[in-house]
Chain A
Amino acid sequence: MRRIDPALATGAALTALFVLAALIAPLWTPYDVAAIDIAARLQGPSTRHWLGTDQFGRDEFSLVMAGASVSLGVAGSAIAAALALGVPLGLVASARAGWLDDTLMRTADVLFAFPGLLLAILLSAVLGPGAIDAALAIALFNVPVFARVARGAALPIWSADFIAAAQLAGRSRSAIALAHVLPNMAAPIIVQASIQAGLALLGEAGLSYAGLGVQTPAPSWGRMLADAQTLIGTAPRLAVVPGLAIIIAVAGFTLLGDGLARASRGKGKH
């Protein structure tokens, strides 16, 4: 009997929880997150407000849900964009050894020289802070990551027997790349994407915390934490809750990635 990997199961469960909250929030939250009720501000948890209310009397649980949507939106679009750009680059580099490969990989090195936060700082200097700038920075940071993983995964495939057979059959390199190489390198890319998604969430939260990411009044975990910091003596709950939400979402994706990596290694061993 096959045992289910606890890391994989936990990761999948946490990720599902996060994605579900993110998808439901735009349609329904217990309270309207834009509704301000000064009279009800800074209430503790109760049956009416499960996580209490914030400094403007908004329902904290609803805000956490809505924050999930924003986080998923920024991190998800950033990872999607990075995949769309990085994987083809890595594939091309793997197919054409020589100057093209060198140029692409050295360019990736240059991009890699900017720590993620720095890239975001640079971009918000150019574009002005906002959700789009945050997503763009996270995407740019991830392009070389995916390019490297894709190249690394594709290189051994090119020397496999079935590729040689396809070449003998007279198919072009680009056709082979799309039909044979790409499908066979999916596993490591999915694993990496899951791990990078976790890091992207962390990055989004950090940028929003620093005021470089999502702007008011859109709810965001990073900014909720920043706003709650002065209230830490009176309502520490408001600082703790968004942090826990971040941890759940990030841990979900990294555990999922770890679990998938182990699962695909396990398959490889048989």
Chain B
Amino acid sequence: MRHTLATLLTLIAILIAPAAWASDTLHVGIQLEPPHLDPTQGAAAAIPEVAFNTIYEGLLRVGTDDTLHPLLATGWTVSQGGRHYEFALRHGVRFHDGEPFDASAVIASFQRAAAKDSTNIHAEAWREIVAMHAIGPDKVAFDLAEPDGGFPTRLALSDAAIIPPGAVDTLKTHPVGTGPFRFAAWQRGDSLTLDRNPSYWGTPAHLARITFRFIADPNAAFAAIKSGALDIFPTFPAPETLAELGHDPRLSLAINPSEGEVILAMNQRQGPLANLLVRRAISHAIDRRALIDGAMAGYGTPIGSHFPPQSPDYVDLTGVYPYNPALARQLLTQAGYPHGFSLVLKLPPPSYARRTGELVAAQLRAVGIAVTIRNLEWPTWLEEVFLHHQFDLTVIDHAEPYDYDIYAKKDYYFGYQSPAYDALMAQLKASTDPLERHRLLGEIQRRLAEDAANAFLYQAPILGVQDKRITGIWVNSPTQVLDYQAARFAGAGEGASSGGAGLGGRSFAIVVGVVALAGLALAGRRLGARWLLIRIGVLAATLLATSVVIFVLLNVAPGDPAATMLGIDASPRAIAALHAELGLDGPPLARFLRWIAGVLHGDLGTSFTYRVPVAGLVTERLAVSLPLAAGAALLALALGVPAGVLAARHPDTLVDKAIGLIARIGLAVPDFWLGVLLVLVFALGLGWFPAGGFPGREAGLSALLKALVLPVVALAMPQAAILARITRASLGDVLEQDFIRTARAKGLSETAVLWRHALPNAAAPVLAIVGLQIPYLLAGSALVEQVFYLPGLGRLAIQAIGQRDLITVQAVVLLMAATTVVASFVVDLAQALIDPRVARRTGR
């Protein structure tokens, strides 16, 4: 416990220590946080987004022109009709840990990708490599089971990154590659930092540092880019704000096509959706233009099949199912559903999916299909829709390039099956002739459209917003990653950044402990040891009961975190091993005792999502939430108490009534709405404060304070209203009492009466409220943190629920509940010290 406190204080010291703003640091916004950082062992698109072509590199890369360029390989030859490939490797390249890159690393990488327990997204494809051998250190040969014309292209994708054989076990948390940037730090739930690799084999990067901030929320993304907390947001989640951002002279927009197709996936295993006529009817019922206008603010291109329009192999099939609700109804009648039917549309969290889904549901209702929307978090979506196929419809962006092969997969989530399609895919795979491949790809698209395999909605645009001064970033579109190697700020010199200064946190904690003990001793002397012991006993019992309630509630929560973490193909053995690692094995009582014992030692467990100690996560977040709560408490006191005193001293006057009215209205104002209004006026209108976002420690004290001003005000106002009312009522009662009349009769001045007699007697109820407000400010700030996109404790809890990271939820809830209990204990104590009659009254 003490240790945690010491760490916390050190962190706060680092946080507020001024540091120089480095102009060679790029702040990048990305929507999703990667679950780990090994692109060769996971499907999450966020992994390559931060780690590929930055930390890791492949043998080849895809250029903006959709052609292959050399990277770690300098060239290649193909023979035996596409069955034998030889790659010449770049000489003298080293991994970040100093290990050399050579043929053995390449072979080890692909052996690992193809291994039996591999979670590489293309593991099956890598198993087609029947033999690999080194021809000297700088040349490697691959023999494939079948001729494969697409093999070199696959080597340019992120799951083909070359990894150092000696460091494979820790790549997920400490990635090591050959790229122009090295891994530096990862603040879970908030940001990830990469530093320039000074010994890069090619031209070193211009940027000294890249910080990725994870922002999925459209509001927060808008606030962060508008306030300058981010320099670039390559896949911006709030298309409706682009028109406004485009007018900002500081920013420029980069709107590019992606490889992603947004589809309305239909579970066609059974029911109405197994009927081709119904699927065609649905395709006719959808107005793609309205979806693009309504959900994407007009950005996006309608598609008619599972293929991106910018590809040279694209065939425009949007005319196959033109928007025609009348025809859709007719087809439904023909299919035997003249009165429609009901479907469940399950939507994942991204805003494009939620908005598109809402519009699609309305359009389908218009042709008589009753659609019920269910909004799911990612883990639930993966489990229900992707794994267990418990859905009728879903909206999802298939972002991967060349992913038409999913329609040939056995038992893929939407359940499309077509021998004709499988035959086309087999032909494509066997063909290395570009003209023949072009023809086959056209056939593939037509087949999917003809079968209405899904309803194809629009090509997801890549909506980029960036600071105008940034140059040199090029979009490596087919592989979904940006290349930051040549990125730089125009006119930026070499910036210097300095670390923060530490503080003797431990000694400070000891001082706090001594003060607390002294306070207790004093209270014991004045109020009696028995009273104090009973209070402490009640405190301990309440804390214990609280922890039991939290533990029981969260242990009946559905869903196995280990199964969710390991994903689709996890073996029962792996799940059991992870259970043990996370402390989820054993009977409930043993688990509870283990948890409590850990908590008492400052060990809050390991986060399911991030695989790091929860205590560290909480400490990072407290560095934001504590100053926020403390600032708001002080401001509320500074405004509320004087206002209440003023009103009580002039009872039934205009002043009293005005203060009473303002306080009443203040009580009804939601603090998060007040936050939005403050943003509207003081950030967007007057530009005095940032609209949101937390600039990070390196920004310096003044930037940090500026970022906290509006949230503190929003949080404090309703609390000030409460304090004003309580002060008014309490002081008003006291001022009417006889002893005040006596004091006045003695000839004491009004000020003396107020300070010496009235205020001390009126303080108890005010203190009680303050005691309730402090925990509220810590927990209740979640909404205000959401408005201003601050990485605080409350948002950690909300994020953790989204990720079903129950161990983190458990820890945060326990911490907040404990704060409440301890705060009310301290208030009891303070009240008793001010007025010992309280102790006698409650001392049963």
Contacts and interface: CB of A to CB of B under 8 A. Distances in A.
Contacts of B359: 36, 38, 56
Interface string A229-258: 111111010011011001100110011001
A55 B679 contact: no
Nearest to A218: B373
B649 interface: no
Contacts of B241: 230-231, 233-234
B783 A128 contact: no
B718 to A, nearest CB: 9
A122 interface: yes
B546 A251 contact: no
Contacts of B684: 232-233
* A-B interface, 4 closest residue pairs, ranked by CB to CB distance from nearest: A243-B673, A250-B668, A251-B668, A229-B219
A67 to B, nearest CB: 13
A216 interface: yes
Contacts of A236: 680
B68 interface: no
Interface in B607-654: none
A175 interface: no
Contact of A225 (B676, B780, B824): B676
B549 A216 contact: no
Contacts of A246: 668, 670, 673
Given A113-B542, A115-B816, A234-B243, A247 B669 contact: yes
Interface string A122-137: 1111101100000000
Interface in B504-551: 538, 541-542, 545-546, 549-550
A28 interface: no
B664 A38 contact: no
B677 interface: yes
Contacts of B804: 125
A138 to B, nearest CB: 14
A258 B361 CA distance: 45
B434 to A, nearest CB: 41
Say which size band chain A's interface belongs to.
Answer: 35 or more
Contact of A118 (B557, B676, B779): B779
Which of A212, A240, A243 has its CB near the most chain B CB atoms (within 10 A)? Answer: A243
6 contacts: A38-B290, A38-B359, A115-B817, A217-B358, A234-B243, A250-B670
Interface stretch (A76-84, A151-159, A163-171, A198-206): A198-206
A226 interface: yes
Interface string B650-681: 00000000000000110111101100110110
Interface of A: 7, 34-36, 38, 41, 55-57, 106-107, 109-110, 112-115, 117-118, 121-126, 128-129, 198, 202, 205-206, 209-212, 215-217, 225-226, 229-234, 236, 239-240, 242-243, 246-247, 250-251, 254-255, 258
B380 interface: yes
Nearest to A123: B553
B420 interface: no
Interface in B280-317: 287, 290, 293-294
Say which size band chain B's interface belongs to.
Answer: 35 or more
Contact of A239 (B680, B783, B824): B680
A114 B542 CA distance: 11
B813 interface: yes
Nearest to A250: B668
B192 interface: no
Given A110-B549, A113-B817, 10 more contacts: A38-B290, A38-B359, A56-B359, A122-B554, A125-B801, A202-B668, A229-B222, A233-B241, A242-B673, A258-B664
Contacts of B780: 115, 117
B806 interface: yes
Given A36-B359, A118-B813, A110 B546 contact: yes
A126 B553 contact: yes
B254 interface: no
A106 to B, nearest CB: 7
Contact of A206 (B557, B783, B809): B783
A55 B294 contact: yes
B670 A202 contact: yes
Which of B550, B676, B679, B787 has its CB near the most chain A CB atoms (within 10 A)? Answer: B676
Interface string B339-364: 00000000000000010001101110
Interface secondary structure of B, over-half rule: helix
B211 to A, nearest CB: 23
Contacts of B821: 113
Given A55-B294, A113-B820, A114-B813, A125 B806 contact: yes
B612 to A, nearest CB: 20
Interface secondary structure of A, over-half rule: helix
A117 B779 CA distance: 7
Contact of A34 (B362, B668, B779, B800): B362
A110 B545 contact: yes
A217 B820 CA distance: 36
A128 B804 CA distance: 10
B776 interface: yes
B782 interface: yes
B542 A106 contact: yes
B177 interface: no
Given A56-B294, A125-B806, A198 B668 contact: yes
B520 to A, nearest CB: 21
B672 A209 contact: yes
B375 A216 contact: yes
Nearest to A121: B797
A210 B798 contact: yes
B673 A55 contact: no
Contacts of B240: 55, 230-231, 234
B238 A122 contact: no
A128 B673 CA distance: 25
Contacts of A106: 538, 541-542, 545
Contacts of A113: 542, 546, 817, 820-821, 824
A115 to B, nearest CB: 4
B680 A232 contact: yes
A70 B246 CA distance: 37
Contacts of B677: 239-240, 243
Contacts of A118: 779, 797, 813, 816-817
A237 to B, nearest CB: 11
Given A121-B809, A210-B782, A232 B380 contact: no
B786 interface: yes
A222 to B, nearest CB: 8
A243 B670 contact: yes
Nearest to A10: B664
B733 to A, nearest CB: 12
Contacts of B672: 206, 209, 225
Contacts of A126: 553-554, 556-558
Nearest to A56: B294
Contacts of A254: 664, 667-668
B375 A215 contact: yes
Nearest to A244: B673
Contacts of B679: 232
A268 B412 CA distance: 72
B405 interface: no
